[in-house]
Each structure stands twice: as C-alpha cells, then as structure tokens.
Amino acid sequence: MSPTRRTFFKHLSLGGLSLWLSPACGETLAATVEKLPRNAPANKGVSSEAILRFLEAVDKQGFELHSFMMLRQGEVVAEAWWDPYGPDFIHTMYSMSKSFTSTAVGLAVAEGKLSVEDKVVSFFPDDLPVTVSENLAALRVKDLLTMSVGNEKEPTQTVVKSENWVRTFLAQPISHKPGTVFMYNSAATYMCSAIVQKVTGQKILDYLTPRLFVPLGIAGMTWESCPKGINTGGWGLSVQTEALAKFGQLYLQKGEWNGKRILPAAWVAEAAAFHIQQPGDDKPDRPKANNDWLQGYGYQFWRCQHGNFRGDGAFGQFTIVLPEQEAVIVMTSENKNMQGQLDLVWEHLLPAMSGPSPATDAALATKTKSLNLPPDKGSAESPNMERVSGKVFTLAENPMGLTAVTLVFQGNTCVFTARSSKGPHVIACGIERWQKGITAFPETPPRLISGGKPPTQITSKVAASATWTDENTLVMTWRYYETPHHDTVTCRFDGDTVSLTFLNSITAMNPKAKDARPVLTGKVGAE
C-alpha cells in the first residue's frame, strides 16, 4: 500500500508500536487523509460479474445499503455509495463501535496500563455497591470483552437512564459465574471504555487518535459520551466508510500499516479468536452452521462462517475480514435482516475472489456510479398548493415545543418551517428529489439508543424530499445521511387545518410499534 502522508506530526515508537504526536503541546490532532489504493477487480483476481450480481441482489431483495467497499490484497476493487450518501460523510456505526473499543483496550494492554485478567472492581473503588458479590469480585476485563459478564438481564437500558453509568453497571446482579455464559451486553463495552479512560486519563476517542486514526489517515470521527464524559464505547462512533475499510485492513495485516506496527499481532489474533459460544441451536429455516451469530465470539468481534470474522453494528454496519482471501468487505446500511445481508456476501462476494469474469470492470463502474435511494414519487403538484403555501398554521400545545408551521412552495422546492421558542427550524425539501441541508428539528435524528443526555440542540445533515400522495396529503422524507435513518412526515390538509404525523425508519420496521412523537394539529389564524 502506498505511504500515507502525515503532516505536522512526529513519530514515536512505544513498545514497538507506532504513535504519531502533534509537535506542540495542546495542539489539535488531525490526520492527513489519503485514500486507499484502487485497482480494477480483474487485476486482483476478482469477478466484476459476481460483484454486479451482489448489487443486483441487494436491489432485488429490497436491502437498503448506503455504502459498500471491497478490498483485495490491500487495494479497493469495488466501492459504491447510494445517493444521497457519499464517501465524504461519516456514518453512525452503532455496535461496530465495539471493535474500536476493543482495539483501545489492546493498545492499553500493549502499553502496560492494564491486563485482560485485571478485576473490574479494581478500577472503580468509589463506585462499588455496598456489598460486592463473589461474581462481581471475580469479573475481569476479559469477561467484558467477551460478553460473558453473567448478568441475567441485559443491563444497558437501565444503565443509560442513570447519571453514573459505571456505578449503575456495577450494581446490577450477576447471576452466572463471569466467563461462562454469553449474553450480548453493550454496557459491558462501555465499561471497557471507562477502564481505558481511567488508566490513560483520556477518552478512547482521544486515546485512539494518535495511535490508530492518525497513522491510518482517518479524520472527522466523532463519539458520543455519557453524562460523566466517558465515550459510550459500545455504540456512538461515527466514521467514514473508508475508515472501516482501513480498520479491517489493519486487522487483516495483523496490526501492521505501511511497514509499522500499530497493534500487536498477538492482540489481533486474540481479539479475532473464538473465546465463547453463543447460545442457540439449529432452526428449521437455518442450521446453526449457517448462522453468523452462532459461530463464536472474540474480543468485541464476531466469528463468521467460512472461518472469517467481523465487527458489526445494528441495521447492517459491517467490517468483514476474510483472511484466506486476503480481503475486506465493509458496508453501511439500514436493514432489519442483517443475516440476509451477510448471506448475499457469502453467496456472491466470497466466490467472486476465485478469479476474474468475462464481464468488464467498466460495466461495474457504470453500475456503481448510478446507485441511489430514490425519493418517493406520487405527484409533484396538488390543487391545494397555492391555497396552503405561505399560510401560518398555529399548532395546539405539544410536548415538542413547536408553535406554528408554514410550507412555502416555489418551483421544485417546498420549504417547511416549524417555529418554537428557540427559533425557526427550516427544512427545504426537493419536490420528488433530494435537497440537502442542515436541521436541528426537535427529536431528530432517530436513535436506537441514547448516548446519555443528548445536547439541547443536535444539528444533523439532512437530505429532504416531498411529494403529494393525494391532493390533500403531502409526504416529506427527511433522510439524515450521516446516520442509517430517516423520518417520514405526513401533512394532511383539511380546509384551514393541518395535521402532522411522524414515523421514523426504526419504528417503521416494527408494524406494531408507534412513533413516540405526537400528532401535531394546527389551524390557520388560531391563537
């Protein structure tokens, strides 16, 4: 791989590891981003035809991908973004964050700051319950990493509702001997983050920056924090797709990057190895051998079919490492059926590396440039457009704190404005096309899990569109393209009244669920 440029940094070797530091104390760290090398699939023995079949299957089976990259022998042989997503934007990783947290633990172990055999209680003497049970006393860092804490009930939702997540986690009952029973546990990963911060004095985002992100040429990453200022660890990281590809390639190369040791090879092997078996048996529609959630678990990495391993996050944020094929496959998406998404990888992309195909690489390039998530289309016009355009609909009192809305139609754009005591929230929607902007609309974007107390204003990049489904109903789609999610906002006009109904894409996956936001009602001229 070609060397990555690093400007304004000096190199330090610490215990055989590569570390990049800013030259002036207190100076902000930043990486010079340089893309991974690119090559045609045929030059790396990869079938363009098989990749095309994968992309066609994604579309045919209704999977929503936002990005896709495939590397072979350290070079990108295929990449795609579905507009309005793009290569320059970060994307919410959800539990894909866990593999980065594991990496922070590995670096801290390499620097002698802790051991995976250390007892968790030793790090937090001031946050222990009055009575420390035998199982809590026995809990090791390794048990956090392998999701084998021993809780009877997954504690994350209880933990994130508190002010002191560490104290709340340590107060949860541990029914099973640590290290013996697997149960997915995002709060356990948070504890790994808290431990690294305890022994290094830095949030894991700051700790990883000179040790991982800068050497790999990754920039722009963000990570949510708990109320005590500790990165959430088990979720909350946002990075670009290419950052995932570099991360996977680092693990494929056993911790080396451009000839320098970034992560100990022994840690890479240990993190990716089988440590504990998840509970589960054969099912009528899926044998255990074909279930990618029953192949064993490592240190915040899942074992996969065919001897591979991966990091993954909710809705299909994947970094898949295929050592035998010298390949890495990464995807960001919003899908409920993550196993089905992986099935397409094994069906099409795994055999793609058996050799080039008759299909030309140019055909694949043409396909990837045309991919998009099309906005909904009904009708671009309604007889009611002129009547409602510019009218102020005063809203009934509501918990979102919104007081009035207006919609202004001009050309191929609808400008939606909601007013509150904090000021106007404006979202410009393209009529049956995406129009990009920024919004701090209340209770957006949709979130699967809270990162503690969110800021009072969260500004999000949004691509918005609008269409009329009938002459009285305007449907807006607000796609938050640095997350997997979107909102559907339905405006129904009846005389001089309007109602606004919200449905986020997480809730929409469950037909029995209902969006937590109220239906807003308004009337022209009402006080």
Mean pLDDT of the chain: 93
In this prediction, residue 360 has a pLDDT band, given cuts at 50, 70 and 90, of: confident
List, for residues 409-436, the tens digit of each pLDDT value: 999 999 999 999 989 999 999 999 999 9
Q: What pLDDT does residue 457 have?
A: 54
Q: How far is CA 54 from CA 49, 68, 219, 320, 349, in A?
A: 9, 11, 30, 16, 7
**Averaged pLDDT for residues 358-376:** 91
Instruction: Return the percentage of the chain with pLDDT > 70, whole number.
Output: 92
Q: How far is CA 101 from CA 145, 304, 323, 505, in A?
A: 9, 20, 22, 27
Phi, psi of 497 (to 5 degrees): -120, 160
Checking if the pLDDT of 453 tops 80, the result is no
Who has greater pLDDT, 218 or 457?
A: 218
Count helices and strands in the chain by DSSP H and E runs: 15, 23
Q: Give the N- to C-terminal CA distance of the chain in Å, as an integer.
A: 65
In this prediction, residue 16 has a pLDDT band, given cuts at 50, 70 and 90, of: low
Radius of gyration of the chain (CA): 25
One-letter amino acid of 80: A
Contact between 152 and 176 under an 8 Å Cβ cutoff? The reply is yes
Checking if the pLDDT of 3 tops 80, the result is no
One-letter amino acid of 358: P
Q: What pLDDT does residue 198 have?
A: 98
Checking if the pLDDT of 94 tops 50, the result is yes
How far apart CA 308 and CA 329 sit, in angstroms, is 11
List, for residues 47-68, the tens digit of each pLDDT value: 999 999 999 999 999 999 999 9
* Domain limits, the chain: 385-524
385-524 CATH, one of 3.30.1490.190, 2.40.128.20, 3.40.50.10490, 2.40.160.20: 2.40.128.20
List, for residues 134-191, the tens digit of each pLDDT value: 999 999 999 999 999 999 999 999 999 999 999 999 999 999 999 999 999 999 999 9
Q: Is 295 left (phi over 0), alpha (psi -120 to 50) or beta?
A: alpha
Contact between 264 and 301 under an 8 Å Cβ cutoff? The reply is no
**Averaged pLDDT for residues 9-30:** 50
Phi, psi of 417 (to 5 degrees): -130, 125
Q: What pLDDT does residue 525 have?
A: 80
In this prediction, residue 24 has a pLDDT band, given cuts at 50, 70 and 90, of: very low
In this prediction, residue 511 has a pLDDT band, given cuts at 50, 70 and 90, of: confident
Structure tokens at 359: 């299909």
Checking if the pLDDT of 452 tops 60, the result is no
One-letter amino acid of 396: A
Q: Which residue has the tokens 């997954």?
A: 154
- Lowest-pLDDT range of 165-174, 245-254, 316-325, 518-527: 518-527
How far apart CA 168 and CA 257 sit, in angstroms, is 39
pTM score over 0.85: yes
One-letter amino acid of 277: Q
Closest to 318 measured CA to CA, from 101, 97, 96, 485: 96
Contact between 465 and 494 under an 8 Å Cβ cutoff? The reply is no
Which helix (H) or strand (E) element contains residue 101? helix 97-110
Could you check whether the bond before residue 84 is cis, i.e. omega within 30 degrees of 0?
Answer: yes
Contact between 301 and 100 under an 8 Å Cβ cutoff? The reply is no
- What are the strands of the beta sheet with 75-81, ordered from one edge? 75-81, 65-72, 327-333, 317-322, 309-313, 302-303
How far apart CA 468 and CA 448 sit, in angstroms, is 29
Checking if the pLDDT of 406 tops 50, the result is yes
